């Protein structure tokens, strides 16, 4: 019996139970000390870093490889106030940049964007890929609780939890060294319901007696979406660059999650007695009624937008009996309303290449904030196309654009109105673009004769204007 007790004691010690008498705050203070944050002789950590972020939500395919946005930045982190000054020296994105510089202060309870000499208040947030900022924020939070240890990246880790407005955050600390290993939480998403986010810290480097991760990563639902690499670093005495920031007032609640798309109320734009645009400052959509069936060209943003569109449709076509939603491309903000229309029994038409991804979207379980489809499950009635099809006796014509940059995307033509719906592939009525030329080629290939057009980012426009600027 004595041997059994000794064995249990040894196992408990090996799994972190020896820290049971210490409060989470005391253990997190050990983490601060292990990293060298509290004993730095100079209070400002100056460093350079680069961020490479994958844009899967807007790439030309729903599977890797995805396009990348690259940011080179310089930062100053003031350890005593847990705030950082970040200057984004250059930003290169698909077809744009380098942009910059842009200056941003991030801190606990206040954040500010700097333009010229003006400080513009922003919802506060700290840099979650800055391990020091994370540890200091958690160490100061009296609501943090220690829960059961778990194995992560092959080793036993101490696990802390705290509640937020929408869910629970978890912080994993290495049992041996007290270094942070991972920040773990969920965020609301207009497309997925929720996403599991993991911020992982790795490749620790030593600068003047303090440790900082030379690499950190943002993982979304198991896929690494952001890579950060630390460059040259040093400590500084001067804190003058924070003098103005310290005097500024708090900026209120934390930043709204970028993946939860709010929808300003759209307004109607009449194309004809049977066809209307639904337009807000984010996206335009088109709907038309023919023989009692409403055809909606794209369902953007979110369930909120879908409900708004539903009311607009009912206001002009109160007696419609059937709903068909045409999904013309798969950029995440462009399909946020699809689940709602599936819950209402709408038929979904899209390119054959869209099927698997739309099934994934529709079959997703919304656990944090159940939507209409989660509350009232329904199978998707999906129609796949990969060539011109005629609906409503040819009044609605759908066809693939099929340029090199628009593979998998559709456009629509309403023959009674001589109206072209160009999806997301005409984005300007004043500047030529490769996408626009692909749409023009598709229209000519199908021998269509539009008089007017619209697209998700372009309002009602004369087709001749599009041809004129894209000669």
In a 13 Å sphere around the CA of 359, the CA atoms on its Cβ side amount to 10
Burial of 287 (0-12, 13-18, 19+ CB in 10 A): buried
Which one is predicted more confidently, 13 or 64?
A: 64
Res 12 pLDDT > 90:
no
Collapsed DSSP state (helix, strand, coil) of residue 17 = helix
Q: What is the structure's pLDDT at 96? A: 87
Diameter of the chain measured on Cα atoms: 91
Please state, in angstroms and rounded to a whole number, the distance separating the CA atoms of residues 247 and 231: 30
Please state, in angstroms and rounded to a whole number, the distance separating the CA atoms of residues 411 and 37: 56
Q: What is the structure's pLDDT at 21? A: 80
232-257 confidence digits (pLDDT tens): 999 999 999 999 999 999 987 665 56
Q: What is the structure's pLDDT at 93? A: 85
pLDDT tier, 97 (very low <50, low <70, confident <90, very high otherwise): confident
Span 428-447, average pLDDT = 97
Please state, in angstroms and rounded to a whole number, the distance separating the CA atoms of residues 439 and 454: 12
Q: How many helices (H) and strands (E) does the chain have?
A: 10, 27
Burial of 218 (0-12, 13-18, 19+ CB in 10 A): buried
Q: Which residue has the tokens 């991760």?
A: 213
Please state, in angstroms and rounded to a whole number, the distance separating the CA atoms of residues 185 and 40: 30
Whether the full predicted model's pTM is greater than 0.85, yes or no, is: yes
CA-derived radius of gyration, the chain = 27
Determine the Cα angle at 179 with ends 173 and 182, to 5°.
50
- Mean pLDDT for all residues in the chain: 92
Strand (E) or helix (H) holding 74:
strand 68-78
Burial of 433 (0-12, 13-18, 19+ CB in 10 A): middle
Determine the Cα angle at 144 with ends 139 and 147, to 5°.
120
Res 40 pLDDT > 60:
yes
Res 66 pLDDT > 70:
yes
Span 118-126, average pLDDT = 83
Do the beta carbons of residue 351 and residue 326 sit within 8 Å? no
% of the chain at pLDDT higher than 70: 94
Q: What is the structure's pLDDT at 8? A: 35
Q: What is the structure's pLDDT at 13? A: 43
Q: Exposed e or buried b for every residue in 388-406, given b needs 16+ CB within 10 A?
A: eeebbeebbbbbbbbbeeb
Q: Of the spans 87-101, 161-175, 445-459, which averages the highest pLDDT?
A: 445-459
Write the DSSP assignment of 154-187 as a string of letters.
TEEEEEEEEE-SSSEEEEEEETTT--EEEEEEEE
329-380 confidence digits (pLDDT tens): 999 999 999 999 999 999 999 999 999 999 999 999 999 999 999 999 999 9
Tokens of 449: 């004769």
Which residues make Cβ contacts (< 8 Å) with residue 305, sequence separation at least 6? 261, 263, 266, 280, 283, 299, 336, 337
Domains within the chain, CATH numbers bracketed: 20-247 (2.50.20.10), 267-469 (3.60.15.10)
Peptide bond into 109 cis (omega under 30): no
Q: Of the spans 84-98, 258-272, 280-294, which averages the highest pLDDT?
A: 280-294
Please state, in angstroms and rounded to a whole number, the distance separating the CA atoms of residues 196 and 208: 35
Strand partners, 78: 44, 83
pLDDT tier, 18 (very low <50, low <70, confident <90, very high otherwise): very low
Which residues make Cβ contacts (< 8 Å) with residue 470, sequence separation at least 6? 432, 433, 436, 437, 440
Q: What is the structure's pLDDT at 123? A: 78
Using alpha carbons, list the distances in angstroms from residue 95 to 69, 91, 434, 468.
10, 11, 11, 23
- CA-nearest of 165, 203, 159 to 182 is 159
Lowest-confidence pick of 28-37, 98-107, 316-325, 330-339: 98-107
pLDDT tier, 428 (very low <50, low <70, confident <90, very high otherwise): very high
Please state, in angstroms and rounded to a whole number, the distance separating the CA atoms of residues 172 and 161: 9
């Amino acid at each position: 019996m004595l041997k059994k007790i000794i064995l249990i004691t040894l196992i408990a010690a090996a799994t972190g139970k020896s820290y049971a008498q210490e409060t989470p705050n005391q253990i997190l203070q050990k983490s601060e000390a292990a990293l060298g944050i509290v004993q730095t002789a100079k209070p400002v950590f100056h460093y350079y870093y680069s961020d490479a972020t994958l844009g899967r939500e807007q790439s030309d395919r729903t599977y890797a490889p995805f396009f990348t946005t690259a940011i080179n930045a310089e930062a100053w982190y003031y350890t005593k106030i847990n705030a950082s000054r970040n200057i984004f020296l250059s930003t290169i994105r698909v077809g744009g940049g380098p942009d910059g510089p842009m200056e941003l202060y991030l801190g606990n309870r206040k954040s500010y964007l700097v333009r010229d000499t003006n400080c513009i208040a922003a919802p506060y947030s700290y840099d979650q890929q800055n391990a020091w900022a994370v540890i200091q924020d958690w160490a100061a939070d009296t609501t943090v609780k220690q829960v059961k240890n778990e194995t992560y990246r092959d080793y036993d880790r101490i696990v802390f939890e705290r509640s937020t407005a929408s869910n629970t955050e978890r912080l994993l600390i290495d049992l041996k060294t007290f270094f942070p290993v991972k920040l773990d939480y969920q965020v609301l998403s207009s497309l997925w319901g929720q996403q599991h986010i993991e911020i992982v810290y790795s490749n620790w480097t030593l600068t003047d007696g303090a440790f900082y991760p030379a690499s950190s990563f943002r993982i979304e639902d198991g896929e690494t979406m952001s890579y950060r690499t630390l460059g040259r670093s040093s400590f500084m005495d001067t804190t003058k660059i924070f003098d103005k920031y310290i005097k500024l007032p708090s900026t209120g609640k934390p930043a709204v999650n970028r993946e939860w798309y709010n929808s300003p109320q759209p307004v109607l734009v009449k194309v004809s007695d049977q066809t209307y645009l639904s337009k807000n400052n984010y996206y335009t959509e088109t709907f038309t009624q023919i023989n009692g069936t409403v055809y909606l060209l794209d369902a953007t943003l979110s369930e909120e937008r879908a409900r708004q569109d539903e009311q607009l449709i009912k206001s002009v076509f109160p007696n419609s009996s059937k709903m068909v939603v045409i999904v013309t491309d798969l950029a995440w903000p462009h399909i946020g309303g699809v689940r709602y229309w599936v819950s209402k029994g709408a038929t979904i038409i899209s390119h054959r290449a869209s099927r698997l991804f739309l099934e994934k979207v529709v079959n997703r379980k919304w656990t944090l904030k159940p939507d209409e489809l989660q509350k009232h499950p329904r199978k998707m009635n999906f129609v796949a196309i990969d060539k011109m099809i005629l609906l409503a006796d040819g009044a609605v014509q759908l066809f693939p654009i099929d340029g090199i940059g628009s593979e998998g995307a559709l456009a629509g033509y309403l023959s009674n109105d001589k109206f072209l719906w160009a999806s997301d592939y005409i984005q300007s009525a004043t500047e030529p673009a490769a996408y626009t030329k692909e749409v023009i080629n598709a229209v000519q290939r199908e021998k269509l004769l539009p008089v007017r057009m619209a697209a998700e980012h372009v309002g009602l426009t004369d087709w001749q204007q599009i041809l004129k600027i894209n000669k």
